[in-house]
Chains A and B, each alone.
Chain A
């Protein structure tokens, strides 16, 4: 399948899962995003998320489930090479770019812009 089509379908489907959870359960958006991250982490640990990334590209790496996947992937890779301590040292190995850029851009934008209400 064309990678763009796969990205659209898989990414869209993960968003639909989020929408259904928000609209059909009493969960707040914060609960739903937390759930999706944990879900991404668990499927990653089971070895199911990586094939999804290979199939759908950004369709699997752009949704927040990918954040859970990257955290788990980092922890497991480090645990393989370093043993137990890897579960501590590996967690943020792969997500540094995402977290750091969100903090830096968040900080800079807060300096420059005022909320418009």
Chain B
């Protein structure tokens, strides 16, 4: 077993040495600029809704819905995934990435039918975000109610 592990360790070293490195600096800069840019877009849309008469407290809802709408259409047109290959976390982390994960799953599995495909598989990627967010919120609520 010991010898086997040594071979695997040595192989890991060789394979890493032959593998091109992830262009970290480039990825970080692009993620920063694109992610920040999507947030500026969100800010613009929010201010637009406020100027249309939305209560500043409530303008978040139509803003998020608008961003999700745009991301959904771009996913449908086959553009979002191409851009995401370029932008990485810059398009994955904003709420537009959440929309992309739902819309791409729904589209992809339409070939298995509206119920077993679209319905059952829509949250195949986004489900984890909702599950863990909900668990966190539940315990935060419980702790808050108990400790007041």
Q: Would A and B touch once assembled, by the CB under 8 A criterion?
A: yes
A109 to B133, CA, bound (A): 25
CA–CA, A64 and B139, complex, Å: 19
Cβ 8 A contact of A91, one of B24, B61, B137 = B137
The answer on a CB contact under 8 Å between A38 and B141 is no
- Inter-subunit contact B141/A63 (CB<8 Å): no
Do B38 and A103 touch (CB < 8 A)? no
Please determine whether B32 and A12 come into contact, CB atoms closer than 8 angstroms.
yes
A52 adjacent to chain B (CB < 8 Å): no
- Of residues 19 through 47 on chain B, the ones whose CB sits less than 8 Å from some CB of chain A are 22, 24, 27-28, 31-46
Given A11-B38, A15-B90, do A37 and B132 touch, yes or no (CB 8 Å)?
Answer: yes
| B143: contacting residue among A45, A91, A114, CB under 8 A | A45
Is B128 a contact partner of A84 (Cβ separation < 8 A)? Answer: no
Contacts of B95 in A (CB 8 A): 62-64, 66-67, 98
Interface SS majority for chain B: helix
> Known contacts A7-B43, A15-B31, A87-B142; is A99 also within 8 Å of B130 by CB?
yes
Task: Give the distance to chain A from B79, nearest Cβ to Cβ, in Å.
Answer: 9
Convert A105-117 into 0s and 1s, putting 1 for each residue whose CB lies closer than 8 angstroms to a CB of B. 1111111111110
> Interface residues of A: mostly helix, strand, loop or mixed?
helix
Report the Cα distance A33→B96, complex, angstroms: 12
Q: Are A44 and B39 in contact (CB under 8 A)?
A: no
Do A64 and B137 form a contact, CB below 8 Å, given A7-B39, A8-B36?
no
Kindly provide the distance from the CB of A81 to the nearest chain B CB, expressed in whole angstroms: 10
What residues of chain A have their CB less than 8 Å away from a CB belonging to chain B?
3-4, 7-20, 22-24, 29-30, 32-34, 36-38, 40-42, 44-45, 56-59, 61-68, 71-72, 74-76, 78-80, 83-84, 86-88, 90-92, 97-99, 101-103, 105-116
Show 6 A/B contacts (Cβ-Cβ < 8 Å), sorted by A. Answer: A3-B43, A33-B98, A34-B128, A62-B94, A90-B137, A113-B77
Q: Mark B residues whose CB is within 8 Å of A.
A: 22, 24, 27-28, 31-46, 60-65, 67-69, 72-73, 75-78, 88-90, 92-99, 102-108, 110, 118, 122, 125-126, 128-130, 132-134, 136-146
